[in-house]
Chain A
Amino acid sequence: MDWNLLIGQATVNGLIVGLLYLLMAVGFTLVFGVMRMVNFAHGEFYMLGAFAAYFFTTKLALPFLAAVALSFVAAIVVGSLLEWFILKPFRKDELNGMIVTIGLALILQNVALMAFGPDPVSLPSIASGATTILGVTVANSRVYVVGFAVLVLLLLYAFLRHSRAGRGLRAVVEDSETAAIQGVRARLYYPLGFGIGVGLAAIGGALMAPLFSVSPFMGQTPLLKAFMVVILGGLGSIPGAALAGLCLGLLESYSTLFLSTSTADMLIFLLVMVGMLAFPRGLIGRGEA
């Protein structure tokens, strides 16, 4: 057993998975930052994004990238509408808002169940074969997915940093009252924030769809991971979520290498709980206490 190789492989695996967690967590923390809502339906948007990608590629025969983009747009629209019509009374109402999102999750998952049935479906692979760099083998399809994910993140970064809407969003996340005083129309940013947040989840789902199968139940695990990542990274902190996402991916990958899966899972939960108690403001200290 070549340890260097194994660790190298585990690192690559961990980063890829970490990227997915990152996408989920950033969206999740964005929603929390804008609306102070723990969105239990976040995993269901991941699932809907995957189904949208499935639908666009298999039924409408669109190329993969177009399908992903379309899923994102659809998610933003649906998310904004849901926010406007259902979640509006619960903005800033933490606990009730959370329970409402539980209800939303139940509805979304079961609508998907009724529409698509319980069996998992598969997308055709977007690439076949594998690349080997420095002894570490990565499936080509995963390489593509990583590429797209990085692209999405760069676009997100540019949006948040350089566009007016993006800066307004960041302002609302950091301090909505001051933002309001400065003239940022918070009323517009709620639907936008929610829409983009769940849109990111949908992109995550769409990107991962060719790698894993697509089923109405697939959103549960990513939701759980999103929880853990934002706990570690600090609720409301986007850079914290990004860093914690990658860390969690790597941590999982390494611990699975050395420990049995269940021990690894338990260890991670324990670490998350300890982390939350030790670092209430998140790993880099920029979240809320």
Chain B
Amino acid sequence: MNRVTRNALGMMLFGAVTLQAAAQETLKIGALVTLSGPGAAWGQAMKNAAELAADKVNTVGGLEVGGKKYRVEVVAYDDKYQAGEAVTVANRLVFEDKVKFIIGPTGSAPTLAVQPITEKNQVLTSTLGFTNKAMGVDKPFSFRPVVTTYEFSEPQIAWMVKNLGVKKAGGLFPNDESGQVIARDLEAAYKKNNAELTAKEFFERDRVDFVPLLTRMLARGIDTIELDGNAPGTAGLITKQARELGFKGRIVRTGGPATAELLTVAGKEAAEGMMVHAVIDANLKSTSAYIDAYKAKYKSAPNGFSPSYYDFTGMLFEAMRRAGTVTDSAKVRVELEKINDYAGVLGKLGWTGKANYGVDHQLAVPFYVAEIKNGVEVIRARCTVTEGCN
């Protein structure tokens, strides 16, 4: 053959050898999240958190487990917040992509629908869904990285009743699994603190006009409107319309970070003085570093649930390191359960939940009661799952 061909072949061979040397094994982490429709804000936050955690290990050459280095790849699919879609996606992740670890699902109904598949195939899941059926002794591979109404409502409401004099609250809730569970938990929490969730209204998730419901609620003499359980955009609309109706009382959101959206939709004026559940203390250096990194890559602020997932993914990697394997999910699970002092961006993290769920698969993240003053969350109380708020 002539010189050109020989050179070309040589270069190809050289290239192939180099590529071979550079080729690593890939660790695929699945993301079964809601990327469209209501709930998309949460799903995006989850997926991006996992990707940031993956970036962090990939930039230092990969995740080192059992002497080998793995490039972490996040394989994400949209479940559209529907159980049926989630089942198909789970099938794909488990049988086609062969993942053993899944970030998500986002919603309660999708979670319950996919668990038969994931538990049977020993695939670890990390749900955002607030249903208390998501975890249990019979579901050894299901975890939850975010605290739910059950964990935070009682301490927060106790603090609010004591410090703000809340007596009669009214709440609007979406008519689905999450909404119904949250309404029930909140009612119990208010009752325990000698206050009352006087009015509970349920509505279809895509409703935008709350004036009729608010009219009904306000007529019952409530002094506080409770926004927990609603998607961030919906919470903003309820706030805006309540203020427009002339409601002068307190508006609180005992759960689910939504401040950015509240401010955008309701406006600074309507949101002024709102008491919200905050999951981030922006004064914590580690947290603000995460927020900056997120903004730099994705060009928008993260939804408050994002840091929990970043830390969870980090804990997952740590568990893999300790177990010495990325494929044996049973071993990884055991190691994951043992971690109780992880230095995450949210602080020191461990597991809790046995009293309520039978297993300690609930991540105990700190949370705060904050007041919105002039468009910014100002922390008024610091809380932990075990010790309540001060």
A and B touch in the complex (CB under 8 A): yes
Q: Which residues of A contact B328 (CB under 8 A)?
A: none
Name the interface residues of A111-140: CB closer than 8 Å to any CB of B. 113, 118-122, 124-125, 128, 130, 132, 137, 139-140
B175 on interface, CB distance cutoff 8 Å: yes
A252 on interface, CB distance cutoff 8 Å: yes
Flag if B236 contacts A122 (CB, 8 Å).
yes
A55 on interface, CB distance cutoff 8 Å: no
A57 on interface, CB distance cutoff 8 Å: no
Flag if B212 contacts A139 (CB, 8 Å).
no
A156 on interface, CB distance cutoff 8 Å: no
Q: Which residues of A contact B36 (CB under 8 A)?
A: 113, 118
A118–B81 Cα distance when bound, in Å, is 13
CB distance from B305 to the nearest CB of A (A): 15
Known A13-B211, A262-B175; contact A212-B237, beta-carbon cutoff 8 A:
yes
CB distance from B210 to the nearest CB of A (A): 9
| Residue among B209, B233, B240 making CB contact with A119, cutoff 8 Å | B233
Q: Which residues of A contact B216 (CB under 8 A)?
A: 6, 256-257
Segment of B107-115, B125-133, B199-207 engaged in the interface with chain A: B199-207
Flag if A119 contacts B267 (CB, 8 Å).
no
A42 on interface, CB distance cutoff 8 Å: no
Name the interface residues of A190-228: CB closer than 8 Å to any CB of B. 211-213, 215, 217-218, 220-221
Q: Which residues of A contact B40 (CB under 8 A)?
A: 118-119
A105–B99 Cα distance when bound, in Å, is 36
Q: Mark A237-268, 1 if CB is under 8 A from B, else 0.
A: 00000000000000011001100111001000
Interface centre among B35, B41, B216, B237 (most CB of A within 10 A): B216
Q: Which residues of B contact A170 (CB under 8 A)?
A: none
Q: Which size class do B's interface residues fall under?
A: 20 to 34
Known A260-B202, A261-B201, A261-B202; contact A212-B208, beta-carbon cutoff 8 A:
yes
Flag if A130 contacts B208 (CB, 8 Å).
no
Q: Which residues of A contact B237 (CB under 8 A)?
A: 212-213
| Residue among A13, A113, A122, A130 making CB contact with B265, cutoff 8 Å | A122
Known A6-B219, A118-B37, A213-B233; contact A261-B244, beta-carbon cutoff 8 A:
no
CB distance from A217 to the nearest CB of B (A): 7
A276 on interface, CB distance cutoff 8 Å: no
Flag if A13 contacts B244 (CB, 8 Å).
no
Flag if A119 contacts B41 (CB, 8 Å).
yes
A2–B219 Cα distance when bound, in Å, is 8
Flag if A120 contacts B206 (CB, 8 Å).
no
Known A119-B41, A218-B208; contact A13-B267, beta-carbon cutoff 8 A:
no
Q: Which residues of B contact A1 (CB under 8 A)?
A: 219-220
A113–B36 Cα distance when bound, in Å, is 9
Interface centre among A122, A253, A262 (most CB of B within 10 A): A122
CB distance from B26 to the nearest CB of A (A): 29
Q: Which residues of A contact B264 (CB under 8 A)?
A: 121-122
Flag if B208 contacts A10 (CB, 8 Å).
no
Residue of B nearest to A110 (CB): B36
Flag if B215 contacts A9 (CB, 8 Å).
yes
Residue of A nearest to B263 (CB): A122
A139–B40 Cα distance when bound, in Å, is 30
Q: Mark A161-187, 1 if CB is under 8 A from B, else 0.
A: 000000000000000000000000000
A211–B243 Cα distance when bound, in Å, is 12
Residue of B nearest to A222 (CB): B208
Q: Which residues of B contact A35 (CB under 8 A)?
A: none
CB distance from B8 to the nearest CB of A (A): 42
| Residue among B203, B209, B245, B267 making CB contact with A212, cutoff 8 Å | B209
Q: Which residues of B contact A10 (CB under 8 A)?
A: 212, 215
Q: Which residues of B contact A262 (CB under 8 A)?
A: 175, 202, 204
CB distance from B148 to the nearest CB of A (A): 23
A6–B206 Cα distance when bound, in Å, is 25
B161 on interface, CB distance cutoff 8 Å: no
A189–B190 Cα distance when bound, in Å, is 62
A113–B35 Cα distance when bound, in Å, is 11
Q: Mark B206-248, 1 if CB is under 8 A from A, else 0.
A: 1111011101100110000000000001001100110011100
Q: Which residues of B contact A221 (CB under 8 A)?
A: 206-208
Q: Which residues of B contact A253 (CB under 8 A)?
A: 212
Residue of A nearest to B220 (CB): A1
A10–B211 Cα distance when bound, in Å, is 9
CB distance from B262 to the nearest CB of A (A): 11
Interface centre among B202, B244, B245 (most CB of A within 10 A): B244
Name the interface residues of B150-185: CB closer than 8 Å to any CB of A. 175
A281 on interface, CB distance cutoff 8 Å: no
B97 on interface, CB distance cutoff 8 Å: no
Q: Which residues of A contact B204 (CB under 8 A)?
A: 261-262, 265
Flag if A252 contacts B220 (CB, 8 Å).
no
A36 on interface, CB distance cutoff 8 Å: no
Interface centre among B203, B208, B237 (most CB of A within 10 A): B208
Flag if A132 contacts B219 (CB, 8 Å).
no
| Residue among B41, B207, B236, B245 making CB contact with A139, cutoff 8 Å | B245
CB distance from B376 to the nearest CB of A (A): 19
A2–B245 Cα distance when bound, in Å, is 16
Q: Which residues of A contact B244 (CB under 8 A)?
A: 130, 139-142
Name the interface residues of A9-67: CB closer than 8 Å to any CB of B. 9-10, 13, 17
Flag if A125 contacts B203 (CB, 8 Å).
no
A226–B346 Cα distance when bound, in Å, is 49
Q: Mark A136-154, 1 if CB is under 8 A from B, else 0.
A: 0101111000000000000
Residue of B nearest to A118 (CB): B40
B269 on interface, CB distance cutoff 8 Å: yes
A121–B208 Cα distance when bound, in Å, is 13
Flag if B201 contacts A257 (CB, 8 Å).
no
Q: Which residues of B contact A256 (CB under 8 A)?
A: 212-213, 216
Q: Which residues of B contact A141 (CB under 8 A)?
A: 244
Q: Which residues of B contact A2 (CB under 8 A)?
A: 219
Sample (20) of A-B pairs whose CB atoms are under 8 Å apart: A1-B220, A6-B216, A118-B40, A120-B233, A122-B236, A122-B264, A122-B265, A125-B240, A128-B269, A139-B241, A140-B244, A212-B209, A213-B233, A217-B37, A252-B212, A256-B212, A256-B213, A257-B215, A261-B213, A262-B204
Pairs of residues from A and B, 4 with the lowest C-beta to C-beta distance, nearest first: A139-B244, A212-B208, A256-B212, A120-B233
